[in-house]
Amino acid sequence: MNFFERQQAVRTQSRRLLLLFVLAVASIVFAVDVSLLLLLGIFNEGPPGFWASLLAHRTAIGVSSLLVLAVIGIASLSRMLDLRAGGAAVARELGGTPVPVDGSDPGYRRLRNVVEEVAIASSVPVPAIFVLEQEAAINAFAAGWSVSDAAIAVTRGAMDRLNRDELQGVVAHEFSHILNGDMRLNIRLMGILFGILTLSLIGRQLLRHAHFSRARRSAQIPLFGLALVVLGGVGLFFARVIKAGVSRQREFLADASAVQFTRQTQGLASALKKVGGVAEGSRLSSDRTEQVSHMLFGDGVGYSTWLSSHPPLIERIKALEPGFVAAHFAPLRKRWQLTPPDGLAEDRASGLAEGRVALPPGDATISVHPAQIPAQVGSPDRDDYRRAAMIHADMPEALAVAARSHEQVVALVLALLHSPDKALAERQLVLLSERHGTALCEAVAAQVAALRDLHPLLRLPLAQMAFPALRHRPRPQLDDLVASVDALIVADGQLDLFEYCLATLLRTQVIQALDPARHWQAGKRKLVDCIVSLRDLLAVLAQNGHADAESARRAFSAGWYCLLPRVQVQYPTAVVSVRALDAAWPELIRLDAAGKTVLIEAMAVAAAHDDQITLAEAELLRTVCALLQCPLPPLRLRENSSISVLD
Are the beta carbons of 603 and 621 closer than 8 angstroms?
Answer: yes
Q: How confident is the model at residue 310 (pLDDT cuts 50, 70, 90)?
A: confident
What is d(CA 631, CA 579) in angstroms, rounded to the nearest whole number?
A: 22
278 and 199 in a single domain? The answer is: no
pLDDT above 80: residue 330: yes
Kindly state whether residues 150 and 277 are assigned to the same domain: yes
Q: pLDDT, tens digit, for every residue of 344-354?
A: 888 888 765 44
Residue 260 lies in a domain: yes
φ, ψ for residue 405, nearest 5 deg? -85, 130
User: Residues 254-281, buried b or exposed e (16+ Cβ, 10 A)?
Assistant: bbbbbbebbebbebbbbbbbbbbbbebb
pLDDT confidence of residue 646: 32
Same domain for 621 and 632:
yes
Phi, psi at 151, each rounded to 5°: -135, 140
Instruction: Tell whether the model's pLDDT for residue 198 goes beyond 90.
Output: no
Q: Is residue 498 part of a domain?
A: yes
> Among 153-162, 307-316, 454-463, 629-638, which range has the highest average pLDDT?
153-162
Which of helix, strand or coil describes residue 608?
Answer: coil
- Residue 228: count other Cβ atoms within 10 Å of its Cβ: 25
Domain that holds residue 192: 3-86+187-237
Q: Is 108 helix (H, G, I), strand (E, B) or coil?
A: helix
Angle, CA of 313, 178 and 122, to the nearest 5°: 110
Q: Among 491, 519, 547, give the residue marking a domain's end.
A: 519
What totals of helices (H) and strands (E) does the chain contain, helices first?
29, 6
Lowest mean pLDDT segment, chosen from 16-25, 175-184, 615-624: 16-25
Residue 205 included in any domain: yes
Distances (CA, A) of 505 to 289, 326, 543, 624: 34, 48, 21, 9
Mean pLDDT lowest among 5-9, 113-117, 154-158, 438-442: 5-9
Mean per-residue pLDDT for 119-147? 88
Kindly state whether residues 503 and 468 are assigned to the same domain: yes
Mean pLDDT value of segment 579-588: 87
Structural domain includes residue 243: no
Kindly report, residue by residue over 34-47, the tens digit of the pLDDT. 777 776 666 666 66
* Range with the poorest average pLDDT among 155-169, 380-394, 418-432, 628-642: 628-642
Are residue 318 and residue 444 in the same domain, yes or no?
no
Looking at the fold, whether 479 and 534 belong to one and the same domain comes out as: no
For residue 72, being part of any structural domain is answered with yes
Would you say residue 535 has pLDDT above 90?
Answer: yes
The pLDDT value given to residue 290: 76
**Is the four-CA dihedral 308, 313, 317, 322 of positive or negative sign?**
negative
| Overall average pLDDT of the 367-376 stretch | 67
For 205-246, the pLDDT digits (tens) are 777 666 555 544 455 667 666 766 777 777 777 777 777 766
| Residue 358 lies inside a defined structural domain of this protein | no
- Distance CA(375)–CA(380), nearest Å, equals 9
615, 522, 521, 532: which is closest to 567 by C-alpha? 532
- Residues 138 and 283 both lie in one domain: yes
Instruction: Determine which of 130-139, 422-431, 537-546, 611-620 has the lowest per-residue pLDDT on average.
Output: 611-620
pLDDT > 80? residue 138? yes
Distance CA 540, CA 533 (A): 11
User: Rounded distance, CA 210 to CA 204, Å?
Assistant: 10
Q: pLDDT at position 135, please? A: 92
Contact status, residue 14 vs residue 603, Cβ threshold 8 Å: no
Within a domain: residue 244?
Answer: no
Of the pLDDT bands very low, low, confident and very high (cuts 50, 70, 90), residue 97 is very high
* Segment among 65-69, 166-170, 350-354, 411-415 with least mean pLDDT: 350-354
Looking at the domain assignment, is residue 355 inside a domain?
no
For residue 175, the Cα-to-chain-centroid distance in whole angstroms is 7
CATH number, position 176: 3.30.2010.10
539, 559: one domain: yes
Q: 287 pLDDT band (50/70/90 cuts)? A: confident
**Which of 519, 554, 577 is where one domain is finished?**
519
Indicate whether 157 and 203 sit together in one domain: no
- Tell me: pLDDT of 638 over 60: no
Q: Does residue 156 carry a pLDDT above 90?
A: yes
Considering the domain architecture, whether residues 468 and 596 belong to the same structural domain is answered as no
pLDDT for 356 beyond 50: no
Domain count, the chain: 4
Is the separation of the CB atoms in 290 and 193 below 8 Å? no
Is 434 an active-site residue? no
Which helix (H) or strand (E) segment holds residue 142: the answer is strand 140-143
422 and 461 together in one domain: yes
Query: Which of 461, 494, 519 delimits the end of a domain?
Result: 519
pLDDT interval class at 553 (50, 70, 90): very high
Give me the sign of the Cα torsion angle 459, 463, 465, 469.
positive
Query: Is the separation of the CB atoms in 126 and 467 below 8 Å?
Result: yes
d(CA 635, CA 383): 10
Position 111 confidence tier, pLDDT thresholds 50, 70, 90: very high
| Other CB atoms within 10 A of residue 464 CB | 23
HSE-up of residue 570 (Cα within 13 Å, Cβ side): 3
pLDDT at residue 303 is higher than 80: no
Residues 179 and 197 in one domain: no
The catalytic position among 117, 135, 174, 251 is: 174
- Pairwise CA distance, residues 154 & 493, whole Å: 47
Tell me the mean pLDDT in the region 531-542: 91
Helix (H, G, I), strand (E, B) or coil at 86: coil
